Structure formats: structure tokens, C-alpha cells
Amino acid sequence: MLTLDGATVRYGARAVLDGVDLVVAEHEIVCVLGPSGSGKSTLLRAVAGLRDLDAGRVLLGGADQAGVPTHRRGVGLMFQDHQLFPQRDVAGNVEFGLRMRGVDRAEREGRAAELLDLVGLPGAQRRAVASLSGGEQQRVALARALAPRPRLLMLDEPLGQLDRGLRERLVVELRHLFGRLGTTVLAVTHDQGEAFALADRVVVMREGRIAQSGTPVEVWQRPASAFVARFLGFDNVVPAAVSGTEASTVWGRVPVPAGSPQGDRTLLVRPAGVRLTAPGTGLTCRVAARTFRGLHVSVTLTPPAGPPLEATFPLGDVPAEDAEISVAFRAEDVVVLDEEPRTGP
């Protein structure tokens, strides 16, 4: 459906999109994730034809899009800054793209009714945009983007403005809706929870390049690098010398899964992989902080050397603040990252 082939965009001397190769298959939902400024929006704008490439190609359905204007690319856009027309009612907004394409009135009205049903706003045609809640406006924007039946739907921070509860609900609805319609989706977000809930495949960007691409489970279980691990919120990342099923680290010896990469590496220890042991039998740490998080407690530990260690303990099994405790590591929650660590300070 969509192929980016060495896609490059420069501002001055700086490549904000740096030779990106990406393929999105028909019916696939791909979410591009990355920190602010990593080039996510630029990637979408390049695919939409809102920004020309300085090198490389964008192909849609196999056809090179160089010189093809946005409205002829057959893509639907729902962008952060792409607000609804406040002076039009809901139907006027949803039908906008169809009117531009000269679709007759009966068909426009039929399509608008169908889409408003789909997005959970049946019968809202005559409502004023200003009378809608943020979530309802987002649904109307989605119906508007879907109305012309785009071959590719592109979303930039689709749920960015909404509060967390509503976002979590809408993201599940969106995934069902796209599945039902068979829509191919390329979405951009800085919210990893949103990306993981929505996507068939997640693409993590760093400084204009793809740092990792994989299913949500693959990326979550095996971050490709310390950058990706930290971006996902894992802070227990240390250099390690791996030999067999053991690694030597600043936190002492840490068991690693069989078949892990060997030699000088970077190690990720998931917080769930830090467990309490009998006093004196493991790594002695001081409890620096505790944060209650529903069903478990996040605990920051100060080991004798090296960076703080993040652990999660079940409620009821939580050491007191300032206590000295002994911890060991569970191999199944340890990941030896594939990348070679950087040398130097």
C-alpha cells in the first residue's frame, strides 16, 4: 500500500527525516512513535504530499507520488491542527471532502449518516460543532477523514487533546472500527500506551531514523536498544559483560535468558524482575522511594553502586521506606539488548 524508500527531508543542513525505509501493507495499522522532534510529523507530511522529499521516494499502491498533490493521493488526514469548520454543522463537516469531489447530495447524506453511526454519533447531522464535547469533535473529525474512503488514513496525535480516560476508550473503539472497515492506517503519537493499543506494528523513531519496528509485543519484550528501552519507560539499563546465562554488572551478577547475545552489552532489567530475597543473600539496597500504583507498588532502590534500581512489588509485600533489603533478579525479566554499547564516557 505505502512504501517509503530512503525518504529524506532536510531543513538547512539537518536531515529531520534521514533515509527512512518503511512499508505499510494493506489493512495494516502502523503507529509511529518517538520523542518530540524525532521526525514523526514530517514523515506524515511527506506521505501526504504536504512536504516534498529532498531525496528518496514515496510510493502509494506502487506509484511514485513525486509531484502528485495531496488531494490526488487518495489519503485521509486527521491532523492535530486540522480542526473542524466551526461555522458548519456536523454533516457539513463530514460531507466536506465528498462535496469537494462532486459527490451528489443523496450519496453524501447517506455516507454521512453511515459514518456518524460508525463513530457513535448517530443522528448528530444538524448539531453545531461548538455544542460538541472534545471527544465528540474528535469523532466528527474521524468521520470526515473516512468519508471519501481513503486508501490510507493518516492520523497525527489523533487523541492528543483528550483526557486519559476518554483516550483509552476511544483507542479501543478506533482499533475495532479500522478492523471492521479494513482501513490501512498510519498514525503518529508520542503516547506509547496509545500506540501499543492501536497498532498492528509500532515504529519507534529517533532523530529522523527508525530505531525499531515490530509488533507491540516484540518491541515491548525485546527493545532493540537502550534508547528504545528508555523511551518505553524502562530505567534499569546498565552495561554488562554477558557470558553464558550470566551477566556481570555494577549490580553484581544477573542471570540472563539462555541464548542471549554474548560479550559486552547493555542489559535491561524489567522492574517486575527484581524480587525480594532473604537478608544477606542478594544485592543489598536501601528503599529510597515508594509510589502506590493500584495493584502494585513501584519502588526505587539505592544499590551500593550504579544507578538506582526500579522494582515493582505486589501490595502487601512492600518494604518500608529507608529499609535495607536484599534483592535478586529473575532471568525471564532480563533482556540483553542486541546493540553493542557505545564506547567512551
Q: Could you list the residues that contact ligand ATP (CB under 6 A)?
A: 11, 16, 34, 36-42, 190
* Contact by Cβ (8 Å): 241, 196: no
φ, ψ of residue 75 in degrees (nearest 5): -110, 145
Q: How far is the CB of 83 from ligand ATP (least distance, A)?
A: 16
Looking at the Cβ atoms of 181 and 232, the one nearer to ligand ATP is: 232
Looking at the Cβ atoms of 33 and 299, the one nearer to ligand ATP is: 33
Looking at the Cβ atoms of 155 and 238, the one nearer to ligand ATP is: 155
Q: How buried is residue 54: exposed, middle or buried, by Cβ count under 10 Å (0-12/13-18/19+)?
A: middle
φ, ψ of residue 38 in degrees (nearest 5): -80, -5
Looking at the Cβ atoms of 80 and 245, the one nearer to ligand ATP is: 80
Query: By C-alpha distance, which of 279, 298, 283, 285 is closest to 329?
Result: 283
Instruction: Name 328's bridge partners.
Output: 275
Name the residue with cell 529532498. Answer: 54
Looking at the Cβ atoms of 206 and 296, the one nearer to ligand ATP is: 206
Looking at the Cβ atoms of 141 and 205, the one nearer to ligand ATP is: 205
C-alpha grid cell, residue 159: 487523541
Q: How far is the CB of 34 from ligand ATP (least distance, A)?
A: 5
φ, ψ of residue 250 in degrees (nearest 5): -65, -20
Looking at the Cβ atoms of 190 and 275, the one nearer to ligand ATP is: 190
Q: How far is the CB of 154 from ligand ATP (least distance, A)?
A: 13
* Contact by Cβ (8 Å): 268, 257: no
Q: How far is the CB of 16 from ligand ATP (least distance, A)?
A: 4
Looking at the Cβ atoms of 11 and 292, the one nearer to ligand ATP is: 11
Q: How far is the CB of 38 from ligand ATP (least distance, A)?
A: 4
The secondary structure of residue 339, as a DSSP letter, is S
Between CA 237 and CA 232 the distance in angstroms is 12
Between CA 179 and CA 177 the distance in angstroms is 5
> What count of other Cβ atoms lies within 10 Å of the Cβ of residue 187?
26
Q: How buried is residue 63: exposed, middle or buried, by Cβ count under 10 Å (0-12/13-18/19+)?
A: exposed
φ, ψ of residue 78 in degrees (nearest 5): -130, 95
Q: How far is the CB of 32 from ligand ATP (least distance, A)?
A: 8
Q: How far is the CB of 42 from ligand ATP (least distance, A)?
A: 3
Q: How far is the CB of 36 from ligand ATP (least distance, A)?
A: 3
